[in-house]
Amino acid sequence: MSGPVLKRWLGFVQEHATIYDDDLVQGAKILAIGGAEQSHVNLSHPDEVFYEYLARVANHLTVLKDPETPLKMLHLGAGALTLARWASVVYPSSTHVAVDIERELLEFVLTNLPLPQNCSLTTIVADAREVLNNKLAGQKFDVIIVDIFSGPEAPEHLTVPEYYSELANALEDDGLLFVNIGDDPPLSFTDRQVTAAQQSFSFVMLSSSPEIFTRRFPGNLILTASKSRIDGTSIEQCQAAGPFPSEIRHSTGLDRFGKP
């Protein structure tokens, strides 16, 4: 950390948030909460996504949604707004709503990590489930990205089938849901999220590096869900887009998931 370290107390989680330089990537900053790295943004090149799990979301999205078409995107869990920054370059003229329960975090990030000039962003301080039935009631989105929880310590009301139903209702008919799932062996939490999502979405797939699917290692998986089936060619393109190594499981390939 060659430059100054910025610090802000977060009242909800009772931890400090810090922002500091990434000494390995010029122009990049890291957001940490409670000493744990949470987000990485490249202010000089916002179209570059450093963290592997976020790169998977970005790569899937560019395969499944034409970059020529602006998107209406909902980010549940704001972090440093990495994907909103990315989409402002890759999907110009898109609009973004970012929801976070930490008021201080949103203010801290927006003050110290300014958005790209053309990023159209609205922020809401709220619970990521309550907001769907209140401030965002009746609104429909092309893309919803859930990046809130990691493993069994996740707030239960954000992991149940009823929440996935509400997320489905907030999506356009051709909309896409992306959920970042952090989990530890034997991926029991992932099992439950797959089962919950399958109750409200016609198609669900998981993507990660191959070793994660052995259920012997901790890591992040991206759950992608849609109301209609994603064709095989698009799935292959998503896997080929990386980051590498990359594996996608769907349909019968998910039979083990959700079945202890």
User: Per-residue pLDDT averaged across 90-101, rounded?
Assistant: 96
Percent of the chain, pLDDT > 70? 96
User: Per-residue pLDDT averaged across 28-50, rounded?
Assistant: 93
Percent of the chain, pLDDT > 90? 85
Quote the pLDDT of residue 154: 80
- 240 pLDDT band, cuts 50/70/90, is very high
User: Per-residue pLDDT averaged across 119-143, rounded?
Assistant: 96
Please give the model's pTM, rounded to 2 decimal places. 0.95
Residue recorded with tokens 């110009």: 92
Q: Which CATH architecture has domain 46-254?
A: 3-Layer(aba) Sandwich (3.40)
User: Per-residue pLDDT averaged across 69-87, rounded?
Assistant: 96
Instruction: Kindly list the domain boundaries of the chain, sorted by start residue.
Output: 46-254
Helix (H, G, I), strand (E, B) or coil at 202: coil
- 112 pLDDT band, cuts 50/70/90, is very high
User: Per-residue pLDDT averaged across 137-163, rounded?
Assistant: 90
Quote the pLDDT of residue 257: 63
Q: Is residue 1's pLDDT more than 70?
A: no
Residue-by-residue DSSP string for 90-126: HSTT-EEEEEES-HHHHHHHHHHSPPPTT-EEEEEES
CB atoms within 10 A of CB 129: 19
Instruction: Quote the mean pLDDT of the chain.
Output: 93
Tens of pLDDT along 40-66? 999 999 999 999 999 999 999 999 999
CA 53 – CA 72 distance, rounded (Å): 21
- 19 pLDDT band, cuts 50/70/90, is very high
- 152 pLDDT band, cuts 50/70/90, is low
HSE value, Cβ hemisphere, 13 Å, CA-based, for 55: 17
Q: Is residue 177's pLDDT more than 70?
A: yes
User: Per-residue pLDDT averaged across 104-120, rounded?
Assistant: 94
